[in-house]
Structure 1
Amino acid sequence: MPATRTLPTREAADLIGLTRELAEKELAPRAAEWEANEKFPRDVFRTLGRAGLLGLPYPEDFGGGEQPYEVYLQVLEEIGAVWSSIGVGVSVHALSCFALAAYGTDEQKEEWLPGMLGGETLGAYCLSEPHAGSDPAAMRTRAVRDGDHYVLNGSKAWTTHGGYADFYTVMARTSEDRSHGISCFLVPADTPGLSADPPERKMGLTGSATATMRFDGVRVPRHRRIGAEGQGLPIALAGLDSGRLGIAAVATGLAQGALDHALRYAQERETFGKPIIEHQGLAFVLADMAAAVDAARAVTLAAARLKDLGLPFGREASVAKMVATDNAMKVTTDAVQVLGGYGYTRDFPVERYMREAKVMQIFEGTNQIQRMVISRALKKDSRGIITVRNKEQQ
């Protein structure tokens, strides 16, 4: 039961069609095997890049698709419904490009952004540290000026694509100022002194490599600093608002995929002489699952439309991330229940979906952090904004 979508343009509808086709032909046949074997599918990202799917929200002038977030997130959702590791990877790659696209100089963008958006190079994002996950201002990784270079020392935890990426967007401390003492750097993977620990052994998303990155005297030229010195934390926080929407979209896709499998099973499996979907107990479970998926999609796209209009969307992004990932956990758990004993086996993908849903409540800011962000926003004295979406804005 593919999602019903309303899209702003014919081009956007064609893009969703292309994504569904790629997901069906290139992703679905490989997902279960590669997840089971914990293999990182680097070639899949090249395929998606050549199809133009890795740079969708960024300007055409630098090789992007210049699509509104409303469309980009629905592409992510289609990918996440088939293979969440790839959906998360696309979202993380977009996040790793954000700093350069939003804060880089024209010269920096012209030099590096086309390769990043074209899919030949894959990005990673280095913000969290072993002792500084939800509190990035507590980071200890340092960047010390040495002539025309910065020298980076420290470690970054939970790096998606760690050890496989071609470039790393890195936040490092350049002074002791808690809020204005962090700077942003674009570090090539082959820089001497940069290394990756063995990948983490995870409960889910095993097709996505996650590793701690080590910086041991890594020399980064000054022209690879993105933004002003000390601007790194605002850059990181701005990027996380968009990144949370990406995870919300992948989680919504994951929940949609789980619902689709559960629905097919309920229509085919018979007990007491009729399909189990005709038993009220199971039918109501499926109805609740469908409502949860629709609700996740609605709050995610509502936040995306605010972003596309240039309006504040940070609170709404946190709402979307929290609702979509909590709903994904519930929907995937119910999908296992609908399949009964079969749902607990690896013969069906719903047990994998359930394992994958759990981490989505944790990364890009735990859902407890999202509740903190939302509650703080509610304390501010601000009036609601009424905006008309006209044809030019669409």
Structure 2
Amino acid sequence: MDYLIPEEFSQFAELTRQFVRQELWPHEEEVERADCVAPSLAARLRAKAVELGLFGFNMPEEAGGPGLPYLAQVLIREQLGQASVALADMVGRPPKALLVCQGEQRQRLLQPAVRGEKIWAFALTEPGAGSDAAAIRTRATREQGGWRLNGTKHFISHGNHADYVIVIAKASQADGDVPAAFVVERGAAGFSVGRIHRKMGWRGYPICELVFDGVFVGDDNVLGAIGDGLRLGLANILESRIGVAAHCVGMAQRAYDYAVEHLRVRRQFGRQLGSFQGLQWMVADMAVEIEQSRALLYAAAREMDRGGDARAAVSMAKLSATEMAGRVADRALQLLGGAGYMAESPIEMIYRDARAFRIGEGTSEIQKNQIARACLGREMFA
């Protein structure tokens, strides 16, 4: 379908498509088998992404990024979705919280992240604070020259090898606790990595538990103002959600393309599988669902670019695409039969990986709540 995509945006998408096929796909099998991306490979892939101008594609020009509109960003993310989660992450997207860096923080934290020289982690989620981010219990107590952090975070992406972690904690104030953002650097006394969680999918993409036991953070490692923690923590929630939607459209497209090619070449009972009407209907259902989610995705990105209230549109795109990816992966696996269940094809990986996206960056139920508020009016939920 023609979505009237500007030519320069299509060029970014094509550049990413080639990067995925030439640089990422050849390493998928080894990453899946080893459940890690070798540091040397990660450094090489990041450097290549920087060279191509893809690394930090979500950042504005004043931060050293390309300053792309959201429609161009989702086109890039859609293509990255055709690679495994771990390898797609080699094209880094620094957190927008870093944009509040001031003075020397920009040279020490922001610029190295945008150039792919330093790896970051973002620590908001806790055992008792998932969808309810305001329930965080990690505490920061004021001391001379800085703050003392105590608490535990979990489900933190690549927290085990990040150069620094942005930690959202409740800072003690005379009139009560307020959320704040602190930068904890690797090797800080009292900072340790707990469990590296075993996962159903997303192999090679570590998700960790982080422990802060009396970690001292100097005032020069406070991001923004005390009290801005949740605002910074949720500053790019719409970007994160629409990015997930784009990734899921990409992974679903890959599963669809692989299954369709299988139906063209595989023969049973003297006929191509694609000639059986029951299987043709499954393909039609997959194609319709992918295109529906893609249309919602592009419409939501355009709404963000217009600067309007895109919360409901983004929630619709995220809900549609994440649920759709699971159904498409399931049908693709069924169309391949036993071959789809084997790890020799990407379908088995996609089937496992797709499930997590219905949880991360706001569950499907959270998205339905957001959509319902837009439909019924927020006063209904007061």
Q: Is the CA contact (8 Å cut-off) linking 1:336 and 1:350 kept in structure 2?
A: yes
- The reply to whether residue 231 of structure 1 matches residue 228 of structure 2 is yes
Residue aligned with 1:27, SS: helix
- The reply to whether residue 189 of structure 1 matches residue 186 of structure 2 is yes
Partner of 1:307: 304
Could you tell me how far 1:61 is from its partner in structure 2?
3.0
Partner of 2:330: 333
Unaligned stretches of 5+ residues in structure 2:
none
Q: 1:223–1:233: structure 2 CA closer, same or farther, 3 Å change rule?
A: same
Could you tell me how far 1:310 is from its partner in structure 2?
1.7
Deviations 1:176-198, CA, capped at 9 Å, x for gaps? 89997211123322333222124
Partner of 1:66: 67
**Greater CA deviation, 319-328 or 364-373?**
364-373
**Greater CA deviation, 44-53 or 130-139?**
44-53
Unaligned stretches of 5+ residues in structure 1:
383-394
**Which of 377, 381, 386 does residue 374 from structure 2 map onto?**
377
Structure 1 residue identity aligned to 2:95: C
**Greater CA deviation, 328-337 or 233-242?**
233-242
Q: Is the CA contact (8 Å cut-off) linking 2:96 and 2:236 kept in structure 1?
A: yes
| 1:1-394 paired onto structure 2 within 5 Å | 6-10=4-8, 12-41=9-38, 42-43=42-43, 44-87=45-88, 90=91, 93-94=92-93, 96-101=94-99, 103-105=100-102, 108-175=105-172, 181-380=178-377
Q: 1:329–1:372: structure 2 CA closer, same or farther, 3 Å change rule?
A: same
Q: State the identity as a percent.
A: 35
Deviations 1:20-75, CA, capped at 9 Å, x for gaps? 12111111011122112201353333432343222112122332111111111111
Could you tell me how far 1:271 is from its partner in structure 2?
2.1
Q: Is the CA contact (8 Å cut-off) linking 2:24 and 2:88 kept in structure 1?
A: no
Q: Distance in 2 between matches of 1:76 and 1:306?
A: 17
Q: 1:169–1:5: structure 2 CA closer, same or farther, 3 Å change rule?
A: farther
Q: Is the CA contact (8 Å cut-off) linking 1:259 and 1:335 kept in structure 2?
A: yes
Could you tell me how far 1:138 is from its partner in structure 2?
0.7
Residue aligned with 1:215, SS: strand
Q: Is the CA contact (8 Å cut-off) linking 2:101 and 2:110 kept in structure 1?
A: no
Task: State the superposition RMSD in angstroms.
Answer: 2.3
Could you tell me how far 1:273 is from its partner in structure 2?
2.8
Structure 2 residue identity aligned to 1:54: F
Structure 1 residue identity aligned to 2:72: V
Q: 1:208–1:4: structure 2 CA closer, same or farther, 3 Å change rule?
A: farther
Structure 1 residue identity aligned to 2:79: E
Could you tell me how far 1:281 is from its partner in structure 2?
0.7
Structure 2 residue identity aligned to 1:26: E
**Greater CA deviation, 356-365 or 222-231?**
222-231
Structure 2 residue identity aligned to 1:8: P
Could you tell me how far 1:87 is from its partner in structure 2?
3.1
Q: Is the CA contact (8 Å cut-off) linking 1:50 and 1:118 kept in structure 2?
A: no
Deviations 1:321-365, CA, capped at 9 Å, x for gaps? 111100000000000001011111112110111000011111111
Q: 1:190–1:64: structure 2 CA closer, same or farther, 3 Å change rule?
A: farther
Could you tell me how far 1:255 is from its partner in structure 2?
0.6
| TM-score normalised over the length of structure 1 | 0.89
Residue aligned with 2:292, SS: helix
Q: 1:5–1:316: structure 2 CA closer, same or farther, 3 Å change rule?
A: closer
| TM-score normalised over the length of structure 2 | 0.91
Could you tell me how far 1:112 is from its partner in structure 2?
2.8
Q: Distance in 1 between matches of 2:241 and 2:259?
A: 27
Q: 1:145–1:294: structure 2 CA closer, same or farther, 3 Å change rule?
A: same
Residue aligned with 2:309, SS: coil
Q: Is the CA contact (8 Å cut-off) linking 2:138 and 2:152 kept in structure 1?
A: yes
